[in-house]
Amino acid sequence: RSVMGFGCFTCCTGVHQPDAEPPRPPSGSKASCGPSLRFGGYDPVTHAYRASVLLVLRTVAVPTPPVLRFRDVDSPPSSETSVQAIKLDHHHGWDFWRYNLELKCGATQRTIEYSVDLPHNHPHLHRPHLHPHPESHRFLVPGVNQRWRWGFHSCNGFDDEANEVAAGGIQPLWKDVLNCHKQQPLHVMVGGGDQLYNDTVWEVE
């Protein structure tokens, strides 16, 4: 059954029809979606740790890609690293940007802090709190000889409405994940995507 999972961002709705008029974002809608962090892999030989950040922006609000900056929280601000964006796609007025991060796992666990410099004075970008100090996000990079703490999720729903009602919806599951993360921060969440529900096979004679 579905347990817990991250929902994905939906910036445009409806079926894509090349000849149809592109859908317009509703009035007052946000001009950005993300950032969304993704674990990209680990090399046990070189101890290279790879990750990426996805950011979806309305072109009219942010015509040029902002810069992502990250650093080890235990290092001085001067050690900050800048990462340029890679454009993945453009769809109906939205730009999809990816930032590739590569770090080295050290002897002990590290806390990495990153932020994206978004403009503060555009009328379509309703996120003034990001300037002059951009909103920062953090994730943990495990030590070389440390056991990784990880969680797993299938999808972000239930196979049966009755089960959803009995569980009180999906939020209690996510609150449990957040509580576990506060007590012992997870290094990575592994998503299995959606799945085929074969529960009834046990009831077939």
Whole-number Å distance between alpha carbons of 72 and 86: 23
- H or E element that contains 166: helix 161-167
**pLDDT attached to residue 201:** 66
- The CA-to-CA distance between both ends of the chain, in Å, stands at 21
Tens digit of each residue's pLDDT (9 = 90 or more) over 4-58 = 433 332 233 233 334 444 555 544 456 778 899 999 999 999 999 999 999 998 8
Whole-number Å distance between alpha carbons of 98 and 68: 10
**pLDDT attached to residue 24:** 54
Whole-number Å distance between alpha carbons of 101 and 41: 11
Considering the entire predicted model, what is its pTM?
A: 0.72
Tens digit of each residue's pLDDT (9 = 90 or more) over 114-138 = 998 876 545 445 444 444 456 899 9
